[in-house]
Amino acid sequence: MRVTAESKQYDYVIVGAGSAGSVIAHRLTEDPNVSVLLLEAGGEDNQFFYRMALGFHSWRYPDTSWSYETEPEPHLNDRRIPLPRGKVLGGSSTINAMLYSRGHPEDYNLWRQMGCSGWGFEDVLPYFKRSETNWRGEGTYHGGSGPLQVSRVQKERFLGEPVIEAARNAGYPITDDHHGSMPEGFGGGDVTVDSRGRRSSAARAYLHPIRNRPNLHIETKAYATRILMDGKKATGIVYQQNDEEKRALAGREVILAGGVYNSPQLLMLSGIGPAHHLKDMGIDPIVDLPGVGRNLSEHAGFWTEHAAREPVTLIKDLRADKVALSFAQWLLLGKGLMTTQCNSCHAEIKSRPELAHPDLQIYFNPIAADAKPWVPLISKKQQHRMTSVVCLLQPKSRGWMELRSADPADKPRITLNLMSDRSDVETLINSVEMVRELYKTEPLASIVAQENLPGADVQSRDEIEAWLRSVLITTHHSVGTCAMGIDEEAVVDPQLRVRGVENLRVCDASIMPTVPGGNTNAPSIMVGEKAADLIRGTSLAPAELPRQDTLAA
């Protein structure tokens, strides 16, 4: 590999053009006197399927994802769990399922209680609002002029209505807005899709409109391998691009926004992390931070499947000629099946009534997980099937990640340790029973023909637990490996500065001390918005909310 001797200097060098890094680059370069280099290990986000809302299965492509997987999971029958993470401009926001969810207000109040001053719900709500243009318009809980486009799920006409009516009959609360004054309940969902059915990723929202700013320099296919250090001061980044090793100097700060696996990996490769582990890898420790790579938290998930008596699913729309027509509708008119992903509605509910706020999220999809386009008279007869994706919102289990070697090209060792905490196991078993009861409630009961998964042979709690250990996966919401806090295990302080290092911050999902009770793309974008203000030395005023709203269940 060639080494480029010349080092270019910028005010800020940002590693990672994902959900947070894209935001920070946008906000910092609003000042024309500030220069920013944004490094992205992946390529441009110009593939066709990145834009189409129903094309979110692009996460399966090896050029698009880091394609991580866990070590054999000790509590999941030693299975290795796939961990796709975005390796493209926009990061995981370019390949995710586009579900917009912030979590519960108490998730952020918990951060504040843990010592993260300035991160309570009233503190972060203004940054959620600044980031979005919500279909509801400007209001107490939503923004109306931000870069990120947030629209309503368009498929409530399929499975959504009978699910919500069954939930009402079963005694569950119904909500019009999971991000408003009543986060708990069943209702329609929000997605990061614009009015023409195109994905609104962090790159499309924050980077593409400003690509011509002369003070913003974006380098793709640029893989950061080491932080340049002068003693305990970060001075720049070493990165690989086109078989060359290059260096970029940061006059003010180096900002890591590589995500929950890449940011701690880069810290450890640079001598910042658990000293004993770094020595085992042959790396000289510069700063002993035992929390780097620890505290890994993830939403465990699984899905159930039911066959339907009535044509309430999308399988008829996957007939090959209809798929072609839908594609043309999307391309020419911004309408039709391709303009949104597959969810009909979702729920954020409690597994036990005494809980303070929801610990389960359920997405209802009018399609089977393995459904594909089909051709009449040629393809096997298609069954109407519907799935319910269940997500454990408040997991107690914690995992970890470590280096595999001192070679930056080696993927890290990741252990999620899902189902290691008994309370998680009991909640997951309860969730299976709750979903079953819902499908026995009218009008769903009249629609369902049979339960395919878990199936009739899985009935007792022991049988459900065994089934869960054989099928449980993640919902791709990993956080916590560079956790924010004030104790000795914290990696960054509430200003997101790496403890013991000058001019170095981590600003992505890895800093979240606990996982929010929802999908993590919107919280990661919020982190980017707030981080930009922390770096600039400014702050939005906390939101003024009635006390009952900040604590709403």
For the chain, 553 residues long, the average pLDDT of each consecutive 10-residue run is 76 99 99 99 90 67 86 99 96 94 97 98 99 97 98 72 96 95 93 92 98 98 99 98 97 99 99 99 99 99 94 81 83 80 89 96 89 77 88 98 98 99 99 98 95 98 99 97 98 99 99 98 99 98 76 45
Same domain for 36 and 106, yes or no, is: yes
Catalytically active residues, by annotation? 477
List the structure tokens of 217. 């320099």
Q: Determine the Cα–Cα distance for residues 88 and 343; give it in Å rounded to an integer.
A: 25
- What is the distance between the terminal CA atoms of the chain, rounded to a whole angstrom? 56
Query: 506-521 b/e with 16+ CB inside 10 Å = b?
Result: bbbbbbbbbbbbbbbb
Are 377 and 497 in the same domain? no
Annotated binding site for FAD: 88
Q: Using DSSP bridges, classify how beta strands 345-349 and 360-365 pair: parallel, antiparallel or unpaired.
A: antiparallel
Q: How many Å apart are CA 95 and CA 367, to the nearest integer?
A: 20
SS3 assignment, position 385: strand
Clarify whether residues 133 and 236 are in a common domain.
Answer: yes
For tokens 């386009």, the residue is 373
Residues in the annotated binding site: 88, 342
Q: Are residues 17 and 161 in the same domain?
A: no
Which residues on neighbouring strands pair with residue 303, listed in sequence order? Answer: 389
Same-domain check for residues 179 and 198: no
- For residue 61, the model assigns a pLDDT of 64
pLDDT score at 547: 66
Residues whose CB falls within 8 Å of the CB of residue 361, separated by 6 or more in sequence, listed in order: 101, 299, 346, 347, 348, 390, 391, 393, 517, 518
The range of the structural domain enclosing residue 497 comes to 1-151+193-293+401-411+480-553
Q: Are residues 85 and 111 in the same domain?
A: yes
Instruction: CATH number of the domain at 283, please.
Output: 3.50.50.60
Q: pTM to 2 decimals?
A: 0.96
Does residue 172 share a domain with residue 55?
no
**Per DSSP, which regions of 126-174 are E strands?**
132-134, 148-152
Distance CA 367, CA 351 (A): 25
Tell me the sheet residues that pair with 360. Answer: 349, 392
Indicate if 553 and 493 belong to the same structural domain.
yes
Domain CATH code at residue 318: 3.30.410.40
Residues 224 and 96 in one domain: yes
- If asked whether residues 443 and 499 sit together in one domain, one would say no
Q: 15: part of which helix (H) or strand (E)?
A: strand 2-15
Binding-site positions for substrate read: 342
Q: Are 246 and 1 in contact (CB under 8 A)?
A: no
**What pLDDT is attached to residue 553?**
43
* C-alpha neighbours within 13 Å on the C-beta side of residue 547: 0
Number of domains in the chain: 2
Contact by Cβ (8 Å): 179, 190: yes
Residue where a domain terminates, one of 430, 445, 471: 471
Buried b (16+ CB within 10 A) or exposed e, 58-97: bbeeeebbbbbebbebebbeebebebbbbbbbbbbbbbbb
Length of the chain: 553
CA dist 413 and 78 (Å) reads 14
The pLDDT value recorded for residue 1 is 64
Helix (H) or strand (E) holding 392: strand 385-392
Closest CA to 107 of 353, 361, 301, 393: 393
Which residue from 367, 398, 396 is spatially nearest to 382, judged by alpha carbons? Answer: 367
CA 48 remoteness from chain centre: 22
Asked which of 471, 490, 511 is the last residue of a domain, the reply is 471
Q: 69 — alpha (psi -120 to 50), left (phi > 0) or beta? A: beta
> Do residue 384 and residue 273 come from a single domain?
no
Report the alpha-carbon distance of residue 388 to residue 489 in Å, rounded. Answer: 37
Dihedral class, residue 171 (left if φ above 0, else alpha if ψ from -120 to 50, else beta): left
- Please check whether residues 51 and 95 belong to one and the same domain: yes
